[in-house]
Amino acid sequence: MKKGIIIALLALGLGQVAFAQDRYFTRDGHVEFFSETPMENIEATNDKMTSVVDFENGKFEFAVLIKSFEFEKALMEEHFNENYMESNTYPKASFVGEIEDFAGVRNSNFPPGVEMAAHGKLTIHGVTKDVVIPATITPDGGQYKIASIFKVSPADYNIEIPNTVRDNIAKEIKVTVSAVIVPLKK
């Protein structure tokens, strides 16, 4: 009887280890955005993105606190948080989705720099949209590097740009995401 209990506990423990090894995460991913117009360029960075990738099923999530974006000019940062993003009301942006054709990629053991697409829901400023985000995943000694570049339109997320500065902000903002994800330990 004791032997059966010990085997059952070991099996449960090994199952949890296998599960944990399939999930990778980071708390210090990098997100930046860039708005280019003839009037001025606006750039902000954020090194506090959290992300989890489950290599068992291809599920992928990331989230970033809006107030963690840093600008070169303090006034830009203030306007961004108070006037455009309303970060007290909408404190974070997030993506929840799945990596497309993940089984095929997983079976090939992630060749270096494999390009993928994640289908899911991007939430910004309280608005959620279905999107496809391209990504490159590269194995790197027991961890993975993730990189993605995509565009976001402020109008799609009900971010109002006043007429007085409309020419200073691009209609589409380039978003760059990069992270090194490591095994999630329980």
- Look at residue 55 in the predicted model and tell me its pLDDT: 84
Taking residues 35-54, report their average pLDDT.
Answer: 94
| Rounded mean pLDDT, 70-74 | 94
pLDDT of residue 108: 57
**Over 90: is that where the pLDDT of 120 sits?**
yes
| Percent above pLDDT 90 for the chain | 62
Confidence (pLDDT) at 138: 87
At 82, which amino acid appears? E
Residues paired with 65 in a beta bridge: 92
- Give pLDDT, residue 109: 64
- What's the mean pLDDT in 77-89? 94
Mean pLDDT of 46-56: 93
pLDDT at 71: 96
- Which residues does 44 contact at the CB level (< 8 Å), separation at least 6? 32, 33, 69, 70, 71, 76, 77, 80
Q: State mean pLDDT over 62-68.
A: 97
What pLDDT shows up at residue 110?
64
The β-bridge partners of 59 are 54, 98
- Alpha-helix runs per DSSP H in the chain: 2-22, 74-79, 102-107
Ranges 4-18, 45-59, 77-91, 103-117: which has the least confidence: 4-18
What pLDDT is stored for residue 106 in this prediction? 60
CA-nearest of 142, 140, 176 to 62 is: 176
What would the pLDDT profile of 2-43 be if each residue is shown by its tens digit? Answer: 444 333 333 333 333 333 458 899 999 999 999 999 989 999
Mean pLDDT on 85-102: 93
Average per-residue pLDDT for the chain: 85
At residue 186, the pLDDT reads 67
Domains, the chain, ordered by start: 23-183 (2.40.128.110)
32: left (phi over 0), alpha (psi -120 to 50) or beta: beta
